[in-house]
Amino acid sequence: MTDMRCQLLASVASVVLIGAASTASADQLLTGSITSASGQKLEGVQVSAKKEGSTITTSVYTDLNGEYFFPAMADGKYRVWAQALGFETAKGEVELNATRHQDFKLAAITDPEQKIKQMPSEMLAAALPDETEADAQMKRIFHNQCTGCHTPGYPLQFKFDEAGWNKIINLMKVVANTGAYPGPNAKANGIIEFNRKDLAAYLARARGPGETSMKFKDRPRPTGEAARVVWQTYDLPLNPDTGAGVLGAKYPVNDGYDWNLGTPSKLGQLPHDGAMGFDGNLYYTVNNPNPGVTIGKVDTKTGEVKYIKVDRKDGRYAATAHGLTRDAHGDLWFDVDPGRRSLGKLEVATEKVSVYETPPPMSPLGGAVTLDVDGKGRIWASAPDGVVAFDPATEKFTDFKSVLPYKNPKGTNSTYGAAGDRDGNGWWAQMAFDTIGKADMTTGKTTEIVLPSLKDEMARLPEAKRAFYENFADRTNGNPLPWAQGPRRMGTDKNADVLWVGNSWGASLSRIDTKTGQTTIIPFPDPAYQPYHIAVDQNHNVWGNLWTADRLAKYDPAKAEWTLFDLPVRGTEIRHISLLEKDGVTKVIVPVYRDSMMGVMTLRSDADIAKLKTAAR
């Protein structure tokens, strides 16, 4: 097997260095309590602190007594703010040179539009009307078609009349899920065009000049495990080769931290997939064309960002990367496109990069590339028409093709997610066709599992509309039928024979027995949730990022229980989730795409909080 094996330059250096704690500085504690204007203790209120000159923000939540406890932080001057749905943001400053107690009173928001602007995307999407069959059909079209290149909170925070919504839809039917305008002669999305007039009228009733038809429901604030977590978010510089550079912005103007500013726009964001190395630092891939970075590295102690670059063969840009996974040695594997999309390896200790290219006529890596390491140490990665496996010991690739051809009479059967199980077999999703492929490494054969369609969505369609969809011949990953499940990026339980798949359009998980193929569909708590990527921890818990929500989800299969964790920022648009389980501590790592940051959520126990309380008092 040809190995480009070019050790490629780790280059371009420090983008930002914050005023972090020096080794001589003592760490201090910050605590306090949050009440309403009337004095009521408020549980589950988010409190955030950011040191002056820093790019690192720490966020915690109040307990049932309305008290919050930050982990020990370096001394210095901090901006501190507290916020909860339905309340104005309270802000303050603290000089942290000893244990400090900072209280806040939250005032209720009285402006209905301000309440809407503050809401996370999934609450806005859930509030869209569906009491009639016609409205339910349009809600499904919005759920499937209008969340391909942005989170639903971005358009729904604005109000337009029917003509305005029609203009937006006319644009989006050619932009579709790419997020980029392809020009005036681009082919329109057939499903959006088929529903354009009805969808514009529906959205004008929901978010137009008149009285809204949306039905908003209050949502409980975080409690229990979800209120004990601590978030650390790391700001990442914007891509200087985009409009962000033209405007001179190093970081997003609206970075999502102040919910009252609404869901941020997207301009030059860099992170796509991300993970934490065994060295405790963060690494992320960059999928947007740019001049200087393929893999970004964040020093979690200082916030310093370093760029690691693989050159494109044309010499103009950095080679872009998409998927990322960590092997048992702590090294990182990613797909990279120096001219033909290949497999890359980053040796974390030395920052040496090696690139491995599949040999023709084998397909290159492709699709929305996802990578995983199986129980035998092989790397699995998606290819446009199936999946490939790479053996690091022999440096040999093996490829498997999807049962349904890549190009077929119904559309394009492109691969989305990929995973490897503990027996050394590979799995992949064909999102547009609701099928899951399996590669048997022993026999070399490919089989597939077809997921059940959403029967309720099929049943509510009039015969003429159902016939249109059944005969629709341009199915792609971003152009689903109303009854599609939409299997996306997946994860296997390496301590059990189970594959878990996030179904974006079905708002559900697929649990697949990797031995028998038996499949069970498990709905998310809310049909507005759209899972994107799945990771499984050593205790069999299933973790998922919610692409169109500012939340993460954990599902405990033993108890059939869900826990939902709020993110500290708005408009997150997360595409990837990974775990680091070390020394009894679980860290959940997510690249916060739209806000251009990396996020780390650390689980804390009751005992952890009790120690902080004792130290603070």
What is the per-residue pLDDT for 178?
Answer: 64
The CATH-assigned architecture of domain 129-206 is Orthogonal Bundle (1.10)
Is residue 544 within 8 Å of residue 552, measured between CB atoms?
A: yes
Quick one: 359-508 is in which CATH superfamily? Answer: TolB, C-terminal domain (2.120.10.30)
Burial of 285 (0-12, 13-18, 19+ CB in 10 A): buried
Structure tokens at 32: 């306090």
Q: Is the pTM of this model over 0.85?
A: yes
For residue 16, the model assigns a pLDDT of: 29
DSSP β-ladder status, 30-36 and 100-101: parallel
Q: Locate the domains of the chain by residue range.
A: 129-206, 359-508
Q: Do domains 129-206 and 359-508 have the same CATH topology?
A: no
Residue 608: per-residue pLDDT: 95
Under 8 Å CB-to-CB from 55, ≥6 apart: which residues?
16, 18, 234, 235, 251, 303
Cα dihedral 255→256→260→266 (10° resolution)? 70
Pairing state between β 104-106 and 30-36? parallel
Give the span between the Cα atoms of 545 and 530, in whole angstroms.
Answer: 8
Structure confidence at residue 27 (pLDDT): 87
3-state secondary structure 239-254: CCCCHHHHHCCCCCCC
Mean pLDDT per 10-residue interval, the chain, length 617 residues = 38 30 62 97 98 97 97 96 97 93 97 95 96 97 87 93 97 79 87 97 97 94 98 92 61 92 86 97 94 96 97 92 97 97 98 97 92 98 97 98 96 95 98 97 97 95 96 92 97 98 97 98 96 97 95 98 97 95 96 95 96 91
**pLDDT value at residue 383:** 97
Q: Which of 104, 4, 2 is nearest to 48 (CA)?
A: 104
Can you read off the two tokens belonging to residue 447?
Answer: 């089989």
